[in-house]
Amino acid sequence: MSVDQVVPRTPLRPIQKWGMGVGLLAFLIPIVLDVPGLDESGERMLAIFLFAIVFWITEAIPLFATAVTVILLEVLLISDAALLPVGEEALSYADYFATLASPVIILFMGGFLIADGAEKYGLDKNIAAIFMRPFKRSGRQMLLGLMTITALLSMFMS
């Protein structure tokens, strides 16, 4: 029985620290200042948008965490269950969470989990070795085999 080793936490890079500060500032500016041509919900959405852009570009937090934070901020700031009321035209909070339960998202997540499991136990390398066994005579045959296997697998995945 083996226990996975704990990976030491790496310190934040300067761009990540900068991104956190600028991202939070970019989030606060449209909320505090009036933006001409936008109502209150538009200003809040602009704030979330600017926050997401800065955090994605600088990777101040991991990308998946930024994506989930955007959905959370939408629910907290511009849905019908917002902390500060937006108005009658606000979308239901269920509409925002529905994006997380989309069949396409579930399909991708399932594929990533299967791929991660295959990589963890070396199944990916074993399958690749079995598929490439007939093509190991020369570099040209190996390239042909790789292209053929890729074409066959992509037919089934599409």
Provide the pLDDT for residue 130. 92
Per-residue pLDDT tens, the chain, 158 aa: give them: 455 667 677 888 889 999 999 999 999 999 999 889 988 888 999 999 999 999 999 999 999 899 989 988 988 888 777 777 777 777 777 877 777 788 888 888 898 999 999 999 999 899 889 989 998 888 999 999 999 999 998 898 76
Measure the CA angle with vertex 111, ends 55 and 53; round to 5°.
10
Decide if 106 contacts 64 (C-beta within 8 A). Answer: no
SS3 letters for 52-71?
Answer: HHHHHHHCCCCHHHHHHHHH
In 3D space, the residue among 81, 76, 80 whose CA is nearest the CA of residue 47 turns out to be: 76
Residue 4, φ and ψ in degrees, nearest 5: -65, 140
In 3D space, the residue among 12, 10, 11, 50 whose CA is nearest the CA of residue 30 turns out to be: 50
DSSP class of 83: S
CA distance 139 to 141: 5
Instruction: Give the number of C-alpha atoms closer than 13 A to the C-alpha of residue 60, restricted to the C-beta side.
Output: 18
DSSP letters, 9-59, are PPPPPHHHHHHHHHHHHHHHHHHHSPPTT--HHHHHHHHHHHHHHHHHHHT
